[in-house]
Structure 1
Amino acid sequence: MLVLTTKTHQAEAAVEQWADVPVHDRDGTVLGSAAELLPIFTALNGVASEEIALRYFERVFAVCVWFPTVMTEPGEVIVRTLPPRGIFHVGRYGVSSDPAADTKLVASIGEEWAAAEFQVIRSEDVLRWKYRKLLANVGNVLQALLGDTAGAEDLRRAAEDECREIFASAGIAFAGDEESQAAWGALSIEPVPGEPAQLGSSSWQSLVRGHSTIETSYLNGEIALIARRIGRSAPLNAKLTALARRAAREGLRPGSLGVEDLRAHLGRV
């Protein structure tokens, strides 16, 4: 199996790189390609990577990742949770020709990943969880731009409210607040000795590492895309997406904008 853990905007390049890699048996005989034979698990934020993978791979499994970690230095991953370390909702994307085999595969992964103190939950409708995670991720951009989001709570709520409204208009189902709390509430996030308390989201990490690209186009930008498909608009999330692209393109770091500067850019002074 393959587990895809890039950012969504990097997914297609990774999938294309692996799709035609030959798969060998124990004797070295080529049995076929990775895309033909290996299941791929898309453990990424957003809801676009599954469709990207399905263009190449026969068997795609969507993974909703709830795993608060930070990587700002190569080779160093800061895990901030007590056991369970992370919770993963997993389910087949697309129509399966062998549901029993899929169920068995996900169960076996759950047993193996439990050794690393992860919890795997099989879901018949895993996209409900990925859309719920997408709602949670629309605030990532604020931390990436501001660093310290104190005083920007209303902007986060406004971005989330716009997201909820677009989901409702588009008929998109997602896990509710109580359901999410029941599933994800088992995670206990603790400070890591020797590390600052302000350790940010995946989008924040991209700017800290100085990347010239950022995942926001598949988070806030996804909300804008959904809105445009149904003849609506999501102006706040669209503007936040553009600001994130600019920050990555210009090499800006978290904190490059103050709250009032951001309000001015968003027209919410």
Structure 2
Amino acid sequence: MPVLAERPLAEFPIGNITLQAHHQRLTGITVAARAWIHPDDLSRLVPGSISTLTDESGTPLAWTGEAPDPSQSVVAPGSFMIVQTWDLLRANESWVGSLSEDRIEGEVHANAVVEGTLQLGKGSRILPGVYLEGNVVIGENCKIGPNCYIRGNTSIGDKCHIGQSVEIKNSIILSRTNVGHLSYVGDSILGADANLGAGTITSNFRHDGGNHRTMVAGELVDTGRRKFGTIIGDRVHTGINTSIYPGRKLFAGTSTLPGAIVSRDVQ
């Protein structure tokens, strides 16, 4: 997992909250280390009747009491084990999509449009011409805009810049990463301290509409996703007008030249 090469899974942010912190918020419930629990599934735990949530294969995800109890279990349809990198996108979609209350601690310009739920951290500014559609989470001390389009369910970390004529869709962007101008990032994960050169474009849809496949440990794996862009590790820099095929990964510290076409993983 390129974005996990320098951080444990427990410290990866889902909606700008670490997975470990999500687990700790579930008081009285033990959660498997790699599990994501959809908020709606918690209502399936019924004291004295249902004590364990499992996935479709029967693997315990969360439970009350000292240990999972197969005799008092129920399948949690929105919950799952995080096994592959793209499962982080699914978890982010689950959490950000469930938000229903704004929390705006930064500044939203009068000429920006917000249609959906927005959580905006302290010191962050949303500049004129920005259009936010769907649920969006933005950290502290970010500069968003001018004239960019961000649509749900997207989370952006601290000290990021999303700028002129940039579109971000259903993505996770970690802290101190810049997508300054003329770029498209869809259904993707960008690591920390990355910089996308102007005109960097991620492709996220196959011409035949089929599921995307990507290389994992030398094998081509079906992601189960019809929309899947790129996974970019920490400190990656792309040259201007870089085009990235769906499902390709750029590992931490790598870079591309201007005009590059990324048809294979960059390591």
Q: TM-score, normalised by structure 1?
A: 0.28
Greater share of helix: 1
Q: TM-score, normalised by structure 2?
A: 0.28
